[in-house]
Amino acid sequence: MSEKEEKKNVGKKRAKVEKVAKDDRTITQRLNSFFKTNNYLIVIMLLMMMILTMCDNRSYKEETVSEIKEATKYLKKNISTIGYVGANGVLATIDRKTVDYHDDRIKNIITNDVTEPFLQGAKEIKGKKVFKNTKAMVKGNEQFYNLYYYKTKNKTEMSRVLGAIFKMISSLYYPEYVTVLKKKINSFHISKDPKVKDRMIFHGSVQYNLSTKSWIPQLNKWVDEEVTMNIDFAGEIDPAEYASSNNLLGYQITKISVPLLSKPSMSDLRVNQ
């Protein structure tokens, strides 16, 4: 065999080898093969990623814990106090403490809440509205509404009082204007309810000296009069049961006695003339 033929045969064999050695696998097969033969690289990469993640999480966790501690400290400090703006415009704070319902200030608040709605004159009760019935009057007057819907348990008894006031106003017998001259709390007692745990009951009586201003159509003039009115009431204090944004002290009225205000009669006016 000549040298030329020998080179030709070597070329053919090399072509066959190259043809056989050509990689006809798919991309997926190649990746699988790579991962199988180089799995140690994957493990190292995963470990590095985990270490980096842990470092980041630890740093974030430390930062978050620090912020939570600071925020909690701030909240505890503010929750323990009440902030208010004084008459001079300065922001002030006072420490919080459990409400003492025997405190005279609390007694005054309850007394005022219960009695002030009945110290309104006809003009103040009606405003510029005309009420068709008692329900419309209660819904149309903010003081009556808050007392009836948020602070009254015995609504039947309260309805009778409010109904009588509505009739007096509708008949033009109720004084147009009422001014408080003097207030005196005759009594206010608070005790534990023997029937319900954690509930207290109260009984109060308050006296008002009032000045009324009434329009008398028969005389075509305004008449001023000073009258005395006593309001007696009773109720329950149970914040867990009754407290709300409209009833912060958590009490409900169970009994109330309110004498009706009225314009002076014509016979009284003739005697005084």
What is the tens place of the pLDDT at every residue in 8-60? 554 555 544 444 445 566 766 665 666 556 655 666 676 677 776 766 666 66
Both structure tokens of 4:
């030329």
pLDDT score recorded for residue 18: 46
Q: How far apart are CA 26 and CA 235, in angstroms?
A: 87
Both structure tokens of 69:
């501690």
Percent of the chain with pLDDT over 90: 51
**Residue 179 has what DSSP assignment?**
E
**Residue 147, Cβ neighbours under 10 Å: how many?**
22
pLDDT score recorded for residue 80: 56
pLDDT score recorded for residue 23: 55
Q: Give the amino acid at 41.
A: L
**Residue 30, Cβ neighbours under 10 Å: how many?**
11
Alpha helices in the chain (DSSP H): 3-21, 27-37, 39-79, 104-115, 122-126, 134-140, 142-151, 155-170, 239-242, 266-272
Give 101 or 142, the one with higher predicted confidence: 142
**Residue 241, Cβ neighbours under 10 Å: how many?**
14
Both structure tokens of 1:
């065999």
Check pLDDT > 60 for residue 4.
Answer: no
Instruction: Please report which confidence band the pLDDT of residue 128 belongs to, taking 50, 70 and 90 as the band edges.
Output: confident
Secondary structure percentages of the chain, helix, strand, coil, to 5: 50, 25, 25
Instruction: Please report which confidence band the pLDDT of residue 106 belongs to, taking 50, 70 and 90 as the band edges.
Output: confident
Average pLDDT value for residue range 229-238: 96
Q: Which residues 6+ apart lie within 8 Å of 103 measured at CB?
A: none
CA-nearest of 166, 181, 162 to 224 is: 181
Give 205 or 30, the one with higher predicted confidence: 205
The full set of domain ranges for the chain reads: 104-266
pLDDT score recorded for residue 268: 66
What is the b/e burial string over 40-62, where b = at least 16 CB atoms within 10 angstroms of the residue's CB?
A: eeeeeeeeeeeeeeeeeeeeeee
Q: How far apart are CA 44 and CA 264, in angstroms?
A: 101
Q: How far apart are CA 38 and CA 141, in angstroms?
A: 84
Fold of 104-266: Nuclear Transport Factor 2; Chain: A, (3.10.450)
